[in-house]
Structure 1
Amino acid sequence: MRPEEQPSAPSRQWRAGSSFTMTTVGVLCRSFLYGLCKTETNGLHRFLELLDDRENVGERQRGLITVSNHVSVLDDPLIWGVLPFRYMHNPDNMRWGLGSYDLCFMNKGLSTFFSLGQVLPTHRIRHSEFGGLFQPTITQAIRLLSRGPFINSNGPPEKPDTSLSSPDVSDPFASGHLTFSTNGRDTFPAPSAYLSRRHSWIHIFPEGKVHQKEDRTMRYFKWGVSRLILESDPCPDVVPMWIEGPEQIMHEARAFPRFIPRPFNNVSITFGEKLDVERAFGDLRERWKQLRAKEEDARGAKLQVGVLNESLKYSDEAVALRKECTMRVRAAVLDVRRTRGLPDEDPKAGLAETYTAEGRRGEGKKDDGSLVRDT
């Protein structure tokens, strides 16, 4: 497809459907938060100013990542009910999230709903061979944060390629110019293929699971957030957040009917200061660029944005960079947690090894008293 033929945005019908979905869900969430709960926000005015600065897609200079703790199955979309109505009808300036493939994309109806609601299909490694840090959806997220659009310059193939079976698809655009595949067989709209999605906003829960504990400590953070920060071009803005209250609305110990949210609870959403990303991550990104350039020189060709070779996935230096970046993100969220008057966590709480104390694997109540649920 020639650049002049590339649509700058999805079809009018898709945009209308997405706007309707985002607005309807947003109104329901806002009505619940402010009509049936006592909700407070901290730092929201700063965050709305940031969204206002990003409203014109053509003037955006970088993407946006918001990152927070994860306390209930309703965290997203419920927490975005604190945004005023005027933000909800503009999907191009609303968040993209990561949703579990086996929960949110089980059939065509759910898949359509969550795709219109700007949720990317994400395989969970405990439930799918296609899960993990290097799945195509993470590539999509990196490209959404970057300066797109990203398309297959050869245009769509005559028919979809269903021959791929590897859980590590090298490039999501292998089978089409406006779609991507999470496993080499399915097909989803590729949001990063459109100019209107350039430098988008992505929200991520790095704990990867709902974690409810009386002292409000967090689980260790998984490394996906580090890929978004290290590999996006340029480095996205990062806003850490802290949420309290949704765990009472959808507590993991709730009795029948479990699917009904419990009203009349206190909810607090705190938006931290936008990080100085050059100061917070500049040294790590420079090391990553050097490592990537070394690999590209060795292979004699540039790697596409979000696509990695084996060395960039698994070498000791690449792993060390992801670990350090993830711990810095966690520290930023802890800074916001501290503003809520909570005591500092035990430093060991951020280590994966600590969670052997949880006891048995899987969901439910753990030996350390926490309640955990896969999302």
Structure 2
Amino acid sequence: MSGLVSSLTVTAIGLASKALLSLGYCRSVTVNGFHHLVDALHREERNNGRGVITMCNHISTLDDPVVWGILPTQYYWNTRTTRWVLGASDIIFTNPVFSTFFRNGQVLETFRGKGIFQPAVDRAIEKLDKGDWVHLFGEGKVNQPAKLAPREGEQVIPVSQHHANLLRFKWGVGRIIMEAKKPPLILPMWITGFDELMPEGRKFPFKFLPRRGVDLSITFGAPIQHDEMKSALTSSQISKLSPDHTVFSDAVEHESSVKTEQGWLGGTHVDARSPLEVERIRSLVTAIVQRRVEALGKEVAERTLKM
């Protein structure tokens, strides 16, 4: 019964998001590279436990789920073609009704300040090991860009269309990737315009109402090749990195190092058995993914400026 309720919830949310994107509320919705996501979701290797990760900038409270209004309608009914996402407990799990709704909407309750060794991160890894799709906002919070001062007669232009410098990604990103048993398919994403759809700083009740007539864009990049990531994980590079400076017990870090050694990174020339080495690897893996997301953002900005 719970599976049916979850499917109905995800489908209702998906259709509502599709309606917002498709029925003239937005002035335009541009999607680029969507074939990368479709290809990843339909790969046969998912049936053998290779999960999918989408990694995106986070510029409004509506990014998820509205962005998934671009999916074909038939995707909403199947948990294999809908994402699991981490959601902040203090923002969306604030009462029993909301908690039930978001759990049925495939949101993993995440507690800010409790670090990377918490149940939501564990569950994200478990989902990947089943071949599921996990969506991550690496910054861990909304980072709504400021606006560039317009020239006379011009409209205000979001900085996000010019610069793609994100807040440092959370190290939980590295842990999720590293401890997966098989290398997940990691797709960078970049979105623009959602900060105009739901801008911060508006007064009640307007802060809960999306703006009409905005231009949205959603871009998917090619998957990050796991061989590319492995080749970057050389002992010489890792030795130059500072560890995460996380404050976890030796037992927790040892368990993480064991899982890393047993996962897809195990057996490389990197010593994943050392807790300190695992911290350094986690930092590098997270940084590699962030650079790819930022690189995609810069590509989108350059394309926008040429239009």
CA change 1:313–1:82 in 2 (3 A) is: farther
Indicate the residue corresponding to 1:208 in structure 2.
140
Instruction: State the match for 2:4 in structure 1.
Output: 16
Q: How far does residue 104 in structure 1 lie from its aligned partner after superposition?
A: 2.4
What 5-or-longer segments of structure 1 have no aligned partner? Answer: 1-12, 126-130, 147-197, 288-294, 344-375
Q: Mark the CA change 1:92 to 1:327 in structure 2 (over 3 Å): closer, same or farther.
A: same
8 Å CA contact retained: 1:67, 1:206: yes
**Equivalence map 1:253-268=2 (5 Å):** 253-257=201-205, 258-268=207-217
TM-superposed CA distance for 1:113, in Å, is 0.9
- The question of 1:52 aligning with 2:35 is answered no
Contact 1:64–1:145 (8 Å) recurs in 2 = yes
1:357-368 equivalence runs, <5 A: none
Deviation, structure 1 residue 222: 1.2
Per the alignment, in what secondary structure is the counterpart of residue 142 of structure 2?
A: strand
Whether the 8 Å contact between 1:65 and 1:238 is mirrored in structure 2 is: yes
Indicate the larger mover: 34-43 or 105-114. Answer: 105-114
Contact 1:40–1:267 (Cα < 8 Å) also in 2:
yes
Alignment of 1:159-238 (within 5 A): 198-213=130-145, 214=147, 215-216=159-160, 217-238=165-186
Contact 1:243 1:270 survives alignment (8 Å): yes
The offset of 1:82, in angstroms, is 0.9
Amino acid at match of 1:212: Q
In the superposition, relative to structure 1, how do residues 101 and 48 fare at CA in structure 2: closer, same or farther (>3 Å)?
same
Structure 1 partner of 2:150 = none
Measured in 2, the distance between the counterparts of 1:285 and 1:123 equals 33
State the partner residue of 1:43. 33
Does 2:24 correspond to 1:92?
Answer: no
Aligned-pair CA distance for 1:280:
2.1
Q: Secondary structure at the match of 1:251?
A: coil
TM-superposed deviation, 1:20: 0.7
Amino acid in structure 2 at the alignment position of 1:245? G
Q: Which amino acid aligns with 1:52?
A: H
Letter in 2 for 1:317: E
What's the CA shift string for 1:202-252, capped at 9, x where partnerless? Answer: 000011111122322321111111001111111111000000011001101
Bigger helix share? 2
Structure 2 unmatched ranges of 5 or more: 148-158, 237-249, 263-271
Is 1:272 the counterpart of 2:230? The answer is no
The alignment's TM-score, normalised by the length of structure 1, stands at 0.63
Q: Distance in 2 between matches of 1:224 and 1:313?
A: 18
Is the CA contact (8 Å cut-off) linking 2:261 and 2:273 kept in structure 1?
Answer: no
Q: Give the number of aligned pairs.
A: 259
Q: Using the alignment, how far apart are the partners of 1:88 and 1:313 within structure 2? A: 40
Paired with 2:93 and 2:74, the residues of 1 have a C-alpha distance of 29
For 1:116 and 1:61, locate their aligned partners in 2 and report how far apart those are by CA, in whole Å.
Answer: 23
**Which residue pairs with 1:113 in the alignment?**
101
| Residues 281, 325 of structure 1: 8 Å contact kept | no
Q: Which amino acid aligns with 1:75?
A: D
SS at match of 1:275: coil
Listed one character per residue, the Cα deviations across residues 8-27 of structure 1 (whole Å, up to 9, x for unaligned) are xxxxx112111111111001
2:57/2:191 contact within 8 Å kept = yes
1:74 alignment counterpart: 62
Q: Secondary structure at the match of 1:211?
A: coil
2:187 to 214, 239, 253: 239
Q: Which amino acid aligns with 1:263?
A: R
Q: TM-score, normalised by structure 2?
A: 0.76
Residue of structure 1 equivalent to 2:152: none
Alignment RMSD: 3.0
Offset at 1:52?
Answer: 2.6
